[in-house]
Amino acid sequence: MLEKLSLMGRAPQVITERLILRPPKMSDWEQWAELRRESRSFLVPWEPLWGPDSLSKASFRARLRRISRDVRDDQGQGFFLFRRDSDDLVGGITLGNIRRGVAQTGTIGYWTGAPHARKGYMFEALCGLMPFLFYEFSLRRIEAACLPSNIPSSKLLEKVGFSREGRAREYLCINGVWHDHLLYALLDKDPVAPR
């Protein structure tokens, strides 16, 4: 499934059978805003509260600045997922909260636009991205969390190879309410499906 891994300076790129994963850039704003707008009702139950200007160009620019700061400070990296055949934006994956030293751990979050959901894109992207994160970012452990009611996300993580490690009480504030989350992790020695 994984075709190519490359790290071009500070602009990593992963290419899979159907997707190109690369950092977001300002020229992606219109496509991102449109996909998020049309997917709003699909995404809102699983995400932090959307502000009134969350899809604005200024908000997107601020998001890119945060990603750049995280890259500079070795705290994270953002990826947008594009279909190789059409260059359509499918969704995004964020690596964040990198802890170095004795931890060598990072946390991922992800979203898929409603028109692209349940087509295997996020599975393909995560399977392609995990080896890259372990190797290029020298991580030993990658963590993820999802709401207990988000069965598709739980199944996705388990299918990729993540192990469920427990439940964190009131772990994240989702859509304005603190929620428990299921905690998952993948170690660099764990198999990523399919191998």
Q: What is the Cα–Cα distance from 62 to 41, expressed in whole angstroms? A: 23
- Domain definitions of the chain by residue range: 2-140
Instruction: Measure CA 17 to chain center.
Output: 18
Q: For position 1, what pLDDT does the model report?
A: 41
Provide mean pLDDT across the span 67-90: 96
- Tokens read off for 191: 């198999």
Q: Could you read off the pLDDT of 8-53 as tens digits, one per residue?
A: 445 789 999 999 999 999 999 999 999 999 999 999 999 998 989 9
Q: Could you read off the pLDDT of 147-166 as tens digits, one per residue?
A: 999 999 999 999 999 999 99
Instruction: Provide the CATH number for the domain formed by 2-140 in this structure.
Output: 3.40.630.30
Residue 87 has pLDDT above 50, yes or no: yes
Q: Could you read off the pLDDT of 41-69 as tens digits, one per residue?
A: 999 999 998 989 999 999 999 999 999 99
Q: Could you read off the pLDDT of 95-141 as tens digits, one per residue?
A: 999 999 999 999 999 999 999 999 999 999 999 999 999 999 999 99
Q: For position 41, what pLDDT does the model report?
A: 94
Q: For position 9, what pLDDT does the model report?
A: 47
Q: Do 94 and 27 meet the contact criterion of CB atoms below 8 Å apart? A: no
Q: For position 125, what pLDDT does the model report?
A: 97
4-18, 46-60, 81-95, 171-185: least confident range: 4-18
Q: What is the mean pLDDT of the chain?
A: 92
Q: For position 12, what pLDDT does the model report?
A: 85
Pairing of strands 141-146, 177-187: antiparallel
Tell me the sheet residues that pair with 106: 142
Query: Does residue 20 sit in helix, strand or coil?
Result: strand
Q: What is the Cα–Cα distance from 178 to 122, expressed in whole angstroms? A: 26
Q: For position 6, what pLDDT does the model report?
A: 43
